[in-house]
Amino acid sequence: MSTLLEVTDLHVEFRTRDGIAKAVDGVSYAVQAGQTLAVLGESGSGKSVTAQAVMGILDSPPGRITAGRIAFHGQDLLTMPERERRAVRGARMAMIFQDALSALNPVLSVGHQLAEMFTTHRGTSRKDARAKAVELMDRVRIPAARQRAGDFPHQFSGGMRQRVMIAMAIALEPELVIADEPTTALDVTVQAQVMDLLAELQREMDMGLILITHDLGVVADVADHIAVMYAGRIVETAPVHRIYAAPAHPYTKGLLESIPRLDRKGRELYAIKGLPPSPHHVPPGCAFNPRCPLARDRCRTEQPPLYEVAAGRTSACHYWHECLHGTRDSGTPEGAGR
């Protein structure tokens, strides 16, 4: 598989009245063609800000990228002229936004907005672009697509609006799609339909997919690899089946235990104690230490690197071995001894 996207040591900060907020603090990950990478974490962990930096749509000011590299097919997007980057955005790399009602233009029909992708990027005639818009609506299974192409966003249900957003993202057959919380505020049945649709389109187009979510239950059947974020950093990475079988970071373990399960019927639902830290005031050492059941003095003073747990697995926990196996062993930092 070829590497579509490679993010290396990305740092993003926001200058606010309260000071400098470090929203992304040294994030690195890669996405292969045909692969789904799920980026997980609570609100404020830096997932969406990382995606906005990748897409080049970060609000600046107040946000700014202070360090790092974002390579698409080996070419650094951060050093690319804006005109060239606009050509990449939408055509080769697209994004599905969390709130479809806010992302879509309320005064233009959905058919017009879909057709605009072809007239703007491909120079297609209005008639042909309109036909392609209807084809896209059919492709994402919007009933009576030809008749509904003239409807406005508010006339669609939440699930149908999300399908319109997916249609817009895949219109130009991009190589990479970033889906930012695509199932938020949808009921469970519609969530499953949207996720199945995304997975089907990804297989059909062999595109890379970055799925941003806070819900481990959503990605179980669709992701290949998972990166867990906390306080602007990646704290664990692993193939999806390994994380579900045995998490190697206390935060990931807490997220897994907070998922409702049929075999725990009648039991109180687990919740991670406390709240995520403010990006203005991240605690020293491991940022998770105030909420962590394994925290010790070392965790409060020494920021853990990403330890190599196994081939293709990392954990930013000094006591990952204890979390994973219940034994005490601080492990070896990633890359050490190679």
pLDDT tens-digit series, residues 198-254: 888 888 899 999 999 887 877 888 899 999 999 999 999 999 999 998 999 999 999
pLDDT band of 268, cuts 50, 70, 90: confident
Alpha-carbon dihedral of residues 184, 195, 5, 33, nearest 10 degrees?
180
Cα separation, 338 vs 335, in Å, equals 6
Considering the entire predicted model, what is its pTM? 0.89
pLDDT above 50 for 336: no
* Alpha-carbon distance values, 54 to 12, 197, 272, 273 (Å): 11, 24, 30, 32
The answer to whether residues 119 and 126 touch, using CB atoms and an 8 Å cutoff, is yes
The answer to whether residues 23 and 11 touch, using CB atoms and an 8 Å cutoff, is no
pLDDT at site 326: 66
The answer to whether residues 307 and 314 touch, using CB atoms and an 8 Å cutoff, is yes
pLDDT at site 26: 95
Cα separation, 135 vs 125, in Å, equals 15
3-class secondary-structure state, position 259: coil
Neighbours of 114 (CB within 10 A): 23
What pLDDT, in 10s, does the model give residues 116-140?
999 988 889 999 999 999 999 999 9
Q: State which amino acid sits at residue 25.
A: D
